[in-house]
Structure 1
Amino acid sequence: MNNYVFRIIGSDKKNWRYYILHVVSTIIVSTIGLYVIEIARNIVDNGDKINENLTQYLMMAIGITFIGAIFSYLETYSSGRFSIHCVKNLRNKLLDKFLRTEYQYFDNVHSGSILNQSNGDIDIIQGHLESTLPQLVSALFRFITAFIYLSFINVRLVMVCVVLTLIIIVFVKIVINPISKIFDKHQKKLDEATEVANDCISGAYIQKAYNLEDQFIKKYDEHMEELTRQSLKRQKLLAVTFPLTDILRFLPTLICMVLGFIGTYNGVLTGGDFVAFVILLGRITTPMAEFPILVAGLKEVMVCINRINQIFHKPDEQNGIYIGDRRENILGNQKILSFENVNFGYHKEDLIMKDLSFQVEKGEMVAFVGASGAGKSTLFKLIAKLYPYQGGKILFMGKALEEWNNEALRSQIAYVPQDVFLFPCSIAKNIAYGNEYASMEDIINAAKLAQAHQFILQLPEGYETNVGERGIKLSGGQRQRIAIARAFLKNSPILLLDEMTSALDVESEELLQKALDNYAKGRTVLIIAHRLTTIMQADTIYVLDSGEIVEIGQHETLIKKNGVYNKLYLKQFEGGAKDEVS
């Protein structure tokens, strides 16, 4: 499996110069440390010979120490800058991946889990890039340079370090390895807890209206209990490392101190050698003691990297290369849309659309009606290439739908879905998403056409009113009219309206219907009927039942057939059920 995270981190060649600077600074800092030790060693061994130059030696040591401090700053700054840019690139690429991922992915994954992976996991990666990785590099160079220096003093002491290093490797293998599985379970449980918290916040009005506080608290507490169990397992493993690291720090020091003292006593080591040796011990034993903890941190970060990597391996939505001639092409093509024996199911074994066939000509107003679950909204999502179909063929302007470039196709379509979504910004900005180049005058004209202008002016901040998350500060009818204004402003030749008047009162519906009749001239309009009054003037009405077309015709023709459509009509207008056909 390709590791996209590593590829993203490695792709920024400019950023890698900071990591190179970090490594170079680390080497210089380690080398300077050894040079200071060498000065101390010479002073002890040759004190009588360099007595006259002692001050010079001390000043040299102080000067080198200050130079080391400068490179120590560069070491820390460069690693921090490297990690910050790595995480920035990773976040940007992850968002880009979400935008390119096929729409079905978001049907199957909770937004809380996505947020935890895209924020929590990346935060963990950043933390380890800023601390664990630099510490590991620094520890490695301190250990290697001290190891080499020590080999010139006494080979026996070096062999002691080799044995202790092998012991540490075995220890890491036995104790630290399980932490990966435990941390993976920990992050998955954190996903689930985040999902509950996200549901609690996004569904706050339902939670309060139905007195669900206790249920949410209980559910969240259950997830937190399991999360706590996984955290404690992880903590037990980490807790084992700390006393053992103390042993790894002090036991080698004790052994080597004894050996060093014996060597000095027997004349194998000079006094300077012994002083250098004592100072070097810290540069050897401390990295050995830190190693298990650093490895544990790296294993945790690999869990996060693998979780994010799984997102990058999700399939992208299908995207063709045909872009057409934009507006010129569509004006010259009479047959806009053609479904030929199309099959579709959210699960391949369970089709909700079977051998569906119909055509839409340029300039037509076509309506789709039917009971809930008949496949009407799914039909519009297929046209917009949000879902791939499993069989048959869909032609758009004579070209197979899958051959179309997504951006080119969607630029021809203005889509108002049944579930209206507004961004947490001003009304003007929400409408302007239909056309980024629109002027304020264009925005106001679109709002007037959608019968939204009057209620917008009555708001305290007018068009600058922030609608809140998902438009929560507005009523359903107000949100719907802003979404319609956004579609009108896009000014596309094809308009898809999924139950566009479901939340409007009768008066607003009549006004909007008149505006739509004027706006639709010269455009192709496909409507999913919420109220049958909105489609009585349609050129063609398709009646859907269980993913199949069961009746076709205009309003009067279908009434006379006394079939499914007539029953829907009677139920709505004569049966007293003033609500809609869903």
Structure 2
Amino acid sequence: MKSDFSALKWIYGESRRIIPAIILLSIFGILLSSLSVSFALVSKNVIDAAVGSLSNNVVTESIKLAILIAAQLVLQVLVSTLDIRIVGRFAMSMRKKLFGNLLMKDYTSVNNYHSGELINRLNSDISFVSGAVVEIIPNVLGFLVRIVLSFVALFSLDMTFALICLAIGPVVLMASYIYRRRMKGLQKKCQESDGKTRSFMQECLQNILVIKSFGNEKAVVNHSTELQNENYRYNIKRNNVSIAANILFYIAATIVFYFALAWGAYRILTGVITFGTLTAMLQLVGQIQIPFRSLSSIVPRYFSMIVSAERIMEILDLPDEEDSSCSELDCERIYRDAEEIVFNNVSFAYDNTGVLDQTDLIIKKGDFIAVGGSSGIGKSTFLKLLLGIISPTSGEIYIKLKNGERIALGRRTRGIFAYVPQGNMILSGTIRDNISFSDKALDDEYIVECAKTAEIWEFIDSLPDKLDTVLGEKGLGLSEGQIQRIAVARALYHDAPIILLDEATSALDEKTEAALLANIKNTRDKTCIIVSHRKAAFEICNKSVLINDCKFKLSAL
């Protein structure tokens, strides 16, 4: 219950701005319930008027019935129209917030989650929460009004029968409590197993080339089947609980209905009620049954909402990046006044595995530095420390200005850097979108200039659609070398003064690589740090940094 309370408190905070809309939906739901009960009573009058048990005119009562039907139809259309819009807007708002928060969270913490699992929380969990938040309260209020009004109407028609029905209430509440306890655990397992399955499939589709190259399709399919079977078993268990609840409800509802029929027939026989009253009683019993029948769907939905809210809260509770709440810095001024970047007694470790240990390094403004070292020694980690994506375990990394001021590297100083990471970082979209990185102030002339510097313009210009050529997922259709050069052009378009290249030319031939690096060298007022094992990188640099035994070793070239 404590966990439920935390989730409900968070849900309330997120949904406060749509409370007026929920209230409006609740009012419409209450009106629909009221009209449904009124329909039963007016139906009684129509029948009694037809058989002469009531002095009212049949036509008059029939017109009332038609008006009720029309009103129900109009309200139902309004409810459906409002519901889809409110749920959609609320889901978009929550998705935007969660996605934005994810991008501002500590990189290492987010990296502990599989991307497929994060997508599952962004999509499925938010859909569960948004739909349930908007719909459960109006539904429950509508059901309560339906039950109360139906009992009041039954009481006015036949007090004894109404009291008998009322006595069944505690039994239903006890059954719903047992159902509730069983359902939440199963719902959580269903969602977790579904997330595992989606994550695995997404990973396989992203690495389908590797699977094919190893001829491992059968093993991958078998593992996928195992994950799906696990999810299937939990879904079956959850469904069995729902089926059992539905069967018990059906038995109880059938007994109540036929008891009402027998009771009403007996009361007609004794002259206590009319035939119209019996019809109304049966309709009202049906109205009372609707909320209890819906209980089997509302309870799982409620727990889906709670479990999904807890999963979303888990992501939102991840630690933020350092400096995430601080104001932006004037990166252009900082670089203009910069003298050097200093690593002072820096240590860093991944899960207690040392990468750097109390080491120092000074990078002068305007340096071109080649970074070497064996695979896995910490070269990419070095670049991530510069970007402030990860923080040192101890020591400090800062930019020293000419006036002696020190500015710690972190999120706020990333504007100084343009980064080309290892691996394929091309996004789906046009070549223009990829180079400009969806910059709203597009400058095609500058895009072409950057493409020429990256030695990729000749290829782009040969394409029928040139910059408007649409690239597939991960640059499908391009070679690794072409993808790397587009990524370099993107870094150049960013126009940051310090360029970080992480094996960014590894797929290029020697001539193209040398030309690209020479072009970067000839750009004005740049500092460049190149992680590479290749000769061309060391030839254009004035210094090298070798990482060995958790230490930096700086040498002139």
TM-score (norm. length: structure 2): 0.90
- Trace 1:528-543 onto structure 2 (pairs within 5 A): 528-543=531-546
Rounded Cα–Cα distance in structure 2 between residues aligned with 1:414 and 1:435: 15
Give the alignment partner of residue 28 of structure 2, picking from 13, 25, 30. 25
Residue 83 of structure 2 aligns to a residue whose secondary structure is: helix
Aligned residues with identical type, % of pairs: 24
Deviations 1:224-279 (A, max 9, x none): 22222222212211221221121121112233344444555556656665443232
Give the C-alpha shift of residue 393 in structure 1: 1.1
Contact 2:43–2:280 (CA under 8 A) maintained in structure 1: yes
Q: Return 122-131 or 458-467, whichever deviates more.
A: 122-131
Deviations 1:473-531 (A, max 9, x none): 21111111111111111111111122232111111022112212201x42222222331
Give the alignment partner of residue 412 of structure 1, picking from 407, 412, 416. 416
- Trace 1:31-180 onto structure 2 (pairs within 5 A): 31-41=34-44, 51=55, 53-125=57-129, 128=132, 135-180=139-184
Deviations 1:435-493 (A, max 9, x none): 54241111111010111111222334332222321223211111111111111111111
Distance 1:297 1:340, change over 3 A: same
Distance 1:312 1:10, change over 3 A: same
Rounded Cα–Cα distance in structure 2 between residues aligned with 1:293 and 1:423: 41
Partner of 1:285: 289
Deviations 1:49-86 (A, max 9, x none): 96464422322332233223222222332233222222
Give the C-alpha shift of residue 128 in structure 1: 4.9
Deviations 1:510-560 (A, max 9, x none): 2112212201x42222222331431245343222113212x32212xxxxx
Residue 428 of structure 2 aligns to a residue whose secondary structure is: coil
Partner of 1:334: 339
Give the C-alpha shift of residue 126 in structure 1: 5.5
Give the alignment partner of residue 484 of structure 2, picking from 466, 477, 480. 480
Residue 504 of structure 1 aligns to a residue whose secondary structure is: coil
Rounded Cα–Cα distance in structure 2 between residues aligned with 1:63 and 1:186: 45
Q: Residue type matched to 2:511 in 1?
A: E
1:373 lines up with 2:380 in the alignment = no
Rounded Cα–Cα distance in structure 2 between residues aligned with 1:229 and 1:144: 39
Q: Residue type matched to 1:526 in 2?
A: I
1:182 lines up with 2:186 in the alignment = yes
Distance 1:299 1:161, change over 3 A: farther
Q: Residue type matched to 1:31 in 2?
A: S
Partner of 2:527: 524
Rounded Cα–Cα distance in structure 1 between residues aligned with 2:52 and 2:355: 96
- Trace 1:429-578 onto structure 2 (pairs within 5 A): 429-433=433-437, 436-519=440-523, 521-549=524-552, 551-555=553-557
Rounded Cα–Cα distance in structure 2 between residues aligned with 1:514 and 1:192: 47
Contact 1:420–1:479 (CA under 8 A) maintained in structure 2: yes
Deviations 1:337-389 (A, max 9, x none): 11111121222x33311112112222222332211122111011111121122
- Trace 1:302-381 onto structure 2 (pairs within 5 A): 302-319=306-323, 321=326, 323-335=328-340, 337-347=341-351, 349-381=352-384
RMSD: 2.7
Distance 1:155 1:387, change over 3 A: farther
Rounded Cα–Cα distance in structure 2 between residues aligned with 1:235 and 1:498: 51
Residue 36 of structure 2 aligns to a residue whose secondary structure is: helix
Q: Return 459-468 or 510-519, whichever deviates more.
A: 459-468
Q: Return 56-65 or 380-389, whichever deviates more.
A: 56-65
Partner of 2:200: 196
Partner of 1:243: 247
Unaligned runs of 5+ in 1: 556-582
Q: Residue type matched to 1:194 in 2?
A: R
The total of aligned residue pairs comes to: 546
Residue 99 of structure 1 aligns to a residue whose secondary structure is: helix
Contact 1:249–1:288 (CA under 8 A) maintained in structure 2: no
Rounded Cα–Cα distance in structure 1 between residues aligned with 2:46 and 2:228: 61
Partner of 2:408: 401
Partner of 2:209: 205
Deviations 1:99-137 (A, max 9, x none): 222212342222222222322333444565687665444
Q: Residue type matched to 1:247 in 2?
A: I
Unaligned runs of 5+ in 2: none
